[in-house]
Amino acid sequence: MELHGTTIITVRKGGRAIIAGDGQVSLGNTILKGSARKVRRLGIDGKVIAGFAGSTADAFALFERLESKLEQYPTQLTRAAVELAKDWRTDRNLRRLEAMMIVADDKVTLVLTGNGDVLEPDDGITAIGSGGNFALAAARALADSDMDAEAIARRAMDIAAEICVFTNTNITVEAIDDAE
């Protein structure tokens, strides 16, 4: 049986970067947990936020690898992400990991995949996971509104949860202020 579930979204607006994620973990048609924490702070100083979609164990392995890369390249999230993506694509054990990540610091937001992709969204909004496309569409529709980044992310997550059965409304949010 395959583990399903998760929606992770990032919204950059008004000098803030927000990563929000739901808490549902499903196995087939069964909800195993409704309060998983899929968004967290990384790095020695907690100045990187990250969210994952996919296998929990695989995601934690990737979080650990990214943290070690951040120790090597402390203020260079892009460089650390590229180095992780290289390892992920070429290392025999890492290649089998089934997860995706969104990471952000005060300057950049990146999506990392096991295919070696390190992608920066054009508009500061990106999403991954089973409800990712629903959340992404909702956030883009709300981007020009008066809502701030966190309100947009929360509303987009609520909309995704209304549509995707593998997404719930138990939302974890982490924020970082953009570099001046």
Each residue of 26-57: pLDDT tens digit?
A: 888 888 899 999 999 998 788 999 999 887 77
Query: For the ranges 12-26, 57-71, 120-134, 139-153, which has the lowest average pLDDT?
Result: 57-71
Which amino acid is it at 26? S
Q: Is residue 46 part of a domain?
A: yes
What is the radius of gyration, based on Cα positions, of the chain? Answer: 15
Q: Is 177 within a domain? A: no
Q: Does the residue 96 lie in any domain?
A: yes
Q: What is the tens place of the pLDDT at every residue in 116-143?
A: 889 999 999 999 999 999 999 999 999 9
pTM for the whole structure: 0.92
92-114 per-position pLDDT tens digit: 666 666 778 999 999 999 999 87
Which is more confidently placed, 100 or 10? 10
Give the total number of structural domains in the chain.
1
Q: Is 145 inside a domain boundary?
A: yes
Q: Per the domain annotation, does 178 fall within a domain?
A: no
CATH at 36: 3.60.20.10
pLDDT recorded at residue 53: 87
Contact 179, 154 (CB under 8 A): no
SS3 5: coil
Choose between 71 and 55: higher pLDDT: 71
Q: Is 124 helix (H, G, I), strand (E, B) or coil?
A: coil
Which structural domain, as residue segments, surrounds residue 8?
3-172
Establish if 73 belongs to a structural domain.
Answer: yes
* Residues designated as active site: 6
Is 180 domain-assigned? no
- Strand pairing partners for 102? 51, 111
Does residue 179 belong to any structural domain of this protein?
Answer: no
Backbone angles phi, psi at 119, to 5 degrees: -115, 135
Identify the weakest region by mean pLDDT among 6-10, 54-58, 144-148, 163-167.
Answer: 54-58
| Longest distance between any two alpha carbons in the chain, whole Å | 47
